[in-house]
Structures are given as C-alpha cells and as structure tokens.
Amino acid sequence: MSPSLAVNGHPQTTGSGVPNKNLKHGEHLGFGTRAIHVGSGANKETGAVIPPISLSTTYKQDAIGVHQGFEYSRSGNPNRDAFEQTLASLEAGGAYALAFASGSATTATVLQSLGPGAHIVSVNDVYGGTFRYMTKVAGPMQGVETTFLDLENADDKTILRAIRPNTKLVWVESPTNPTLRLIDIPRLSSLLHSHPAAPLLLVDNTFLSPFYTSPLLLGADIVLHSLTKYINGHSDVLMGALILPPHHHALHTHLKFLQNAIGAVPSPHDCWLAQRGAKTLHLRMKAHGLNALKIARVLEKRTDVVQEVIYPGLATHSRNDLAYSSLSPHAKTWIDSALPASTREHGFPYGGMMSFRIRGGEREAEKFLTSTKLFTLAESLGGVESLAEHPARMTHGSVPEEERAVLGIGGNLVRLSVGVEEVEDLIQDVTQALDVVAESF
C-alpha cells in the first residue's frame, strides 16, 4: 500500500487501500475523532461511508508480484489492515499494530518470538490464561522459564535481581486481573533500561483500554489488548492485538512475520465488527468509568456485607495517586475539565472493572452472584452489558489454589465488569443482591 497521512506514525488509508483525504491533520485529532475516522475513509469504488467487508482469500496480480497491496488473506486483508491502522492511532505513542485471532493467540505469538530458553519476569497477579500458557505451554514446550513477581510492592533491588542475562521480556498488567494491583510503569521501564539485559516491557492494557491509559507514553515497548473486551465492546468478537511505538520497527517486522507464518489471524468480518465497536470506545469508556465509580461508592457504604472494595479510582484507594498519574492525556483532560467537583471529591473514573471481597466466603459470594438481575454471571468483561464472576472458580481456576491464596484470590472475591446501563438500575440491582446476602447471615 502507498502511505498517505501518518497518524501517530501509522500510514492512514481507507479499507480499500486508498489514502483517506478527509484527514489532513490526523495527528492532531482527538481520541474519539481518530476512533471514528482513522482507517475508515469512504470506499473509492462506491463511495460507501462504511468500509465493505472483503471476504476474498486471494487477490488479482497485474503481473508477477505486481498487485494493490494484497496477495493472500492470511498475509493481509483490507479489513484487517484498516483496523490495525485504527488500533495504532488509538494507542497513543503507537506506530504499528498487529491483530490476531484471540488474546491468547496474541500471547502465544509474543512468547514464541522470544525463542527457546528465554526467561520472563511476569507480574504475579496475571490473567489465568496467560499464567496457563507461560507455565503449561511456553515452559515445557519451549523451555521458557517465568519468574512471577509482585511488581506492585517489590523494591528496585528485588526487581533487578530477578532479571537474568537471558531475560527477554517483563510482562505487566496494570491494573492486574482480578485484584487490580497497580504497577508504576515509568519506574519499571527506567529499571529495565538500566539493566544490561535490557528486556522488553510489555503491558497488557485490556482492563483500561487506550482511552484511560497510554502505556507506550509511560515507557512500555509493547502494548497487548484482548480486543474481545473493551475495544470491540459488544461481546461478539474474539480477537487480540499488539501495538508498538515507532522505534520498534524491527520488532514489528519480526512479529508480523510470525503473524503470517503462524496464521492466527482474525477474519475480515471480525475485523469489521471490532472496527465498528472501536468507533464508540471513547463514549463507552466514559460511561463505564462513571458507572463503576458510583457502584464502588455504593459498595463502600455496605460495610455490613462488603469487607473491601478494590477500585483504584476511589479517593480512598491506597494507590489512587498512581492511578491518576497513569491516566492518558485525553482521559486526564476529560476528568479535569468535564467532571463536576462533587464527582472528583470521591475519586475519578478509572475504567469499568472492580473487585470486592464479600463478608463470609464462597457461599456468600455465590449468593450474591446468583441474586443479581442485571449483572449476568459470566466470564469475560468489557461489553456494554454488566457482568459478574467468581475468579477463584472461573477465570483464575487454572492458577493453583496455594498461589491464589497468596494473591488474595479467595472464595469471597467477586469481580464486576460494570456496563453502560442506566446507573440507577445497576445500583438497585447490586443493592438488592447485597440485601439477599445480608439476610443469609
């Protein structure tokens, strides 16, 4: 394809490979404007405002090797290319994006790129599927060893001692899943750059999405997303992605080679759906965050039933200052300028994810989870609908019980993905479910 405008360093074209002439100053556009327009110009052939779905698996060549940028759909597809442009523009500091068939396929590709015998340092409170791949697949099948470390509380010496000559990657979630630990990414990045091994820093940004935080601006080398969650936002697409900054061109080339060689690529239809979902990401994330902050405040007041509320946006959270400093420039501008003082007094929106510990144990947690009417008991997160789950028995069931205990993933922990329904209805739903639990004491 012929590059036209570069938005966040990424060439901007339409879904048909045609430069989007509607974006003359795309690098200066706001987050929501980029979400709607980058990678989504009008179709050259028909003028269609929304890019068509290109289902063809192969493409005509005018001569051997002479084509319009596409040869075979595994290697490149108009819908995937357009969506990757959207992703690179949304993750501030991004220049390259690669889409994969799932978040797990994304994880697998990154870890395979390290080669055999590598060492990884990972935050200990990591998504159960990532823990499973590191310990059950990359370890025995690739010889990759992972050291799990409390990167929220570890001091500089502990972190530096964990890095070996063959440490190639440090894997971070912030906030972590499901206990929402916060990692100081600029501090960690500085430490890694000071070490002779110079491992790459990968941040899984699924929980906050590109709207609330921008890890590449904080010092990360790679950002990973499960696009299944907030970026798609409608619980109907399975997909993952990697976003890299401009100075990692060689790494992008290597990962793109693996994307094609392994072939774990998303379908054109899924790319089309996810790009459509991304157009409203800024609107949804504001609603998710505002609703979550109000739900967290309701839970805080129910000390008769709730032992602890974990939402870094709450003013009472021990790392609320770090949460604020980690906000993306656009999220910080929105929070500082658009939210009334009455809202800021109690904290600020920080995504739609929260966890809480209910008084009692697993019985009380299940009582709550089976008593909600609007919060659906289900795995996953980030859709417009509200979901609730039990990490110990669901998303983190693959983590050994003794390790879950160390991480604080006990039988009384409940995780909420707060949706964009009317917040008054969600508050009523949570309140009545808590009342049911209270009556059982």
Bridge partners of 147, per DSSP, are: 121
Q: How far is the CA of 20 from the CAs of 3, 7, 90, 137, in angstroms?
A: 10, 11, 17, 42
Contacts of 399 (CB under 8 A, 6+ apart): 128, 131, 407, 409
Which residues on neighbouring strands pair with residue 222, listed in sequence order? Answer: 202
Nearby residues of 202 by Cβ (< 8 Å), 6 or more positions away: 110, 169, 170, 171, 172, 220, 221, 222, 223, 224
According to DSSP, residue 53 is labeled: P
- Please report the sign of the dihedral spanned by the C-alpha atoms of residue 289, residue 294, residue 295, residue 301: positive
Beta strands at 119-123 and 222-226: parallel, antiparallel or unpaired: unpaired
Separation between Cα atoms, residue 297 and residue 302, nearest integer Å: 9
The C-alpha angle 361, 366, 367, rounded to 5 degrees, equals 100
Tell me the C-alpha distance between 47 and 42, whole Å: 5
Amino acid of residue 209: S
Report how far apart the first and last C-alpha atoms of the chain are (Å, whole number): 65
Marked catalytic residue, from 125, 133, 168, 204: 204
The Cα–Cα gap between 352 and 274 comes to: 19
Q: Which of the following is catalytic: 80, 96, 127, 230?
A: 127
Which residue in 353, 35, 331 sits closest to 212, CA to CA? 331
Quick check: is 204 catalytic?
A: yes
74 is catalytic: yes
127 annotated active-site: yes
| Bridging pattern class, strands 222-226 and 200-204 | parallel
Instruction: Determine which helix (DSSP H) or strand (DSSP E) holds 236, and give its type and residue range.
Output: none
Q: Which of 34, 80, 168, 229 is catalytic?
A: 229
Peptide bond into 186 cis (omega under 30): no
Q: Which residues are catalytically annotated?
A: 74, 127, 204, 229
